[in-house]
Chain A
Amino acid sequence: MVSSVVHAGFALLLAAGLLGDHYDRRALAAVLAIVVIPEADSLLGPVMSGAHRTVGHNLVLPAAAAALLYYDTRLRERSALRERLADRWIAVAWVGLFVHAFAHVPLDWVHLEGVNVFWPLRDRFYVLDGEILLSTADGFVQTFVDLQIDPETGSRTLDAGGGGTTETVHVNNPVEPRAPDEATEEPVERIFPIANAGWRLYLIGTGLFALAARRLQDRSPREDGA
Chain B
Amino acid sequence: MAPTLVNAAFGALLAAALLGAAFDRRSLAVVVAAAVLPDLDAVASLAVPGATNALLHAVWLPIVAGVGLYWDTRMRDASRLRGRAGWRGVRVAWVALAALLVAGVGPDLFGREGVNLLYPLGDAYYLVNGGFLFSTEDGIVQTFVSFGAEGPGILPLEALGTTESYAIGTFINPDGRPGLSLGVERELHLVRTGWQLVVVAAATALLAVRFRRGGRAGRESRTGRESHESREIPSESTEDAAEVSR
Identify the A interface with B (CB < 8 A).
Answer: 3, 10, 13-14, 16-18, 20, 98, 102-103, 106-107, 109-110, 127-137, 144, 187-199, 201-202, 205-206, 209-210, 213-214, 217, 221-222, 224-226
A172 to chain B, nearest CB (A): 12
If A134-B190, A135-B186, A225-B239 touch, whether A191 touches B135 (CB-CB below 8 Å) is yes
Within 8 A of A (CB), among B215-241: 235-236, 238-241
The answer to whether B242 and A226 have CB atoms under 8 Å apart is yes
- CA–CA, A120 and B202, complex, Å: 24
Please give me the residue from chain B that is nearest to A130 by CB atom: B194
Is B80 interfacial (CB-CB < 8 Å)?
no
A-B contact list, 20 entries, CB within 8 Å: A10-B199, A98-B205, A136-B185, A144-B194, A188-B136, A189-B135, A190-B135, A191-B135, A194-B134, A196-B132, A196-B133, A198-B109, A198-B111, A198-B129, A198-B130, A198-B144, A202-B111, A217-B91, A221-B87, A225-B238
Please give me the residue from chain B that is nearest to A189 by CB atom: B137
If A189-B136, A189-B137, A224-B239 touch, whether A210 touches B17 (CB-CB below 8 Å) is yes
Known: A199-B111, A201-B132. 5 other contacts (CB 8 A): A10-B199, A14-B206, A128-B197, A206-B13, A209-B98
Identify the B interface with A (CB < 8 A).
Answer: 10, 13-18, 20, 73-74, 82, 87, 90-91, 94, 98, 102, 106-107, 109-112, 127-137, 144, 185-195, 197-199, 201-202, 205-206, 209-210, 213, 235-236, 238-243, 246
The answer to whether A199 and B195 have CB atoms under 8 Å apart is yes
- CA–CA, A225 and B82, complex, Å: 10
The answer to whether A224 and B90 have CB atoms under 8 Å apart is yes
- CA–CA, A134 and B187, complex, Å: 6
The answer to whether A221 and B144 have CB atoms under 8 Å apart is no
A69 to chain B, nearest CB (A): 15
Q: Which among B111, B134, B198, B241 is the interface contact of A110 at CB below 8 angstroms?
A: B198
